[in-house]
Amino acid sequence: MDHQHPSPLVWADRPLRELLRLAWPMIIQLLSVSMMTFVDTLFIGWLGWVELAAAGLGGMCTFTVLSFGMSVFSAARVQVGQLHGQGDAVGVKRALGAFLRLAVVLGPLTLVLGLLAAALLPTLADHPQTGQLAARYAALRSLAFPSGVAGAAIAQWLAAQGDSRLAMRAAVVANVAHIPLNATLIFGFDLGVEGAAVASAIASTLENGYLLIMQRRHAIALEAGRWTAPGFHWAYARWSDAWDAFVRGLPTGLERVLDMMAFTAIPVLLAHVGPLHVAAHQIVLQLMLLSFLPSLALSDSISVLVSQAMGAQHAALVRQIGRMGLGVALGYASWCGAVYLCLGKQLLRLFSSDLTLMRLALPALGFGALLQFLNAGYNHYKGMLRGLSVFRYVAWVAVGCAWLATPPLTYFWGVRTGQGVTGAWMALCAEVTIGVFLMVARTYRHPVYGQARDTNTSASW
């Protein structure tokens, strides 16, 4: 029976400890992506609402384009986790060579797409100055995209084997450099929004350069006497391996981009209500991202552990990870929601002293607290299904819910009924509520969960 199946995983008897060990560096690393835009917003918010709205629109454009390459590697790493669970060291090395070959192609393409997307922003903004500033912000941040894609390749390859600490250290390096750069370029050189973008691009390049240098020179400890081999392992892979990794990650990459495009539609639609609503949305979004991204890190960690358990053919462990991970995710979300409800006004004052802006943002923050709880379950079951290699279903549901719910409901509640930014966050709650029910249903239809009801059936893979 599957609960008696021997496992080569040294953490099989302590999955909660392994989840937390893997998740906390991922949380810091993911927060670094958001922290740069957060710090930009924090500084730019004191320049004016036009600049704040521009940074919000430009930041969403930047994250949307970059998310494709990052998500491709995030999905492709599931196979690396399975190889690691099987103890296939050569296969794991070949995977890094394939990832880096793919990054050599995806990096420049992502840069071109980033510049093209930035050029379109003036046509999407209702306020001319907002659109022009957003375009310049997005174009300057796009310059760091090639190094960002290469860094994502290494970070996801390491995470699949249970190491997320190197990416965390790289994130710390980047953010330590980013804050003084931001203050100097925005205020010292009076570069405003453009200064914030340049500071973020420099810091991002430092982060990914650190990852590349460390992987090139040093072996990295994984677990109980297991180490990664230094180097890029380019010779282990062929271009066909890079293509296979791309095909495996393509559904998730498209899902993330289309999902983010639907999310980007929110400030575009809110621009028709007024730039103040766009600025209020940006403030609420930055607060929410600080708590949403740890939830994503937990989801990514669940995906890694499930893929390793699948590689080790340990179905009972998969189910244990599912129960344990959901408890952690919901507990964390409940705590965050309570903080937003109790300290909302104080948190909003960090960004602006404009009373009108605060009045618009506060009700939206309340719906953001509800979304925090809903999103915890949504991300958890996404991570479970990705670890089980159910990529296409996750992509279809995520994209379908995002486009069929968020833009139409934002238009209806936010624009037509005049609820503005509050209506937009109501729409997001509706999207995630539908999505979480669909993800739960698909998870419990998977054969691994079917085995829990048939104790005479051994694990089949």
pLDDT tens for each residue of the chain, 461 residues long: 344 444 467 888 888 888 888 888 878 777 766 677 677 777 877 777 778 778 877 887 888 888 888 889 988 888 888 888 787 888 988 999 999 999 999 999 999 999 999 999 888 766 778 889 899 999 999 999 999 999 999 988 988 887 778 888 888 888 888 889 888 998 888 888 889 889 989 998 998 999 888 888 765 555 555 556 678 889 899 999 999 999 988 888 888 888 877 877 887 788 788 878 888 887 898 788 778 878 888 998 899 899 989 888 888 999 999 999 999 999 999 999 999 999 999 988 887 778 888 899 999 999 999 999 999 999 999 999 999 989 889 989 999 998 999 999 999 999 999 899 999 999 999 999 999 999 999 999 999 886 654 443 333 34
Q: So what's the pLDDT on residue 302?
A: 93
The half-sphere exposure of 367 on its side-chain side, counting CA atoms within 13 A, is 22
Three-class DSSP category at 345: helix
Distance CA 68, CA 106 (A): 9
Q: So what's the pLDDT on residue 228?
A: 66
Write down the residue that tokens 């980013």 correspond to: 178
Q: So what's the pLDDT on residue 137?
A: 92
| CA Rg value for the chain | 22
pTM of model > 0.85: no
Please name the residues in contact with 453: beta carbons below 8 A apart, sequence gap of 6 or more.
none
Please name the residues in contact with 189: beta carbons below 8 A apart, sequence gap of 6 or more.
195
Alpha helices in 45-164, H assignment, sequence order: 49-86, 89-124, 128-142, 145-160
Q: So what's the pLDDT on residue 219?
A: 58
Which residue in 206, 182, 160, 163 sits closest to 37, CA to CA? 182
Q: So what's the pLDDT on residue 461?
A: 41
| Domain ranges, ordered by start, for the chain | 13-450
The answer to whether the beta carbons of residues 52 and 357 sit under 8 Å apart is no
Q: So what's the pLDDT on residue 221?
A: 54
Q: So what's the pLDDT on residue 4?
A: 41
Please name the residues in contact with 16: beta carbons below 8 A apart, sequence gap of 6 or more.
324, 328
The answer to whether the beta carbons of residues 83 and 394 sit under 8 Å apart is no
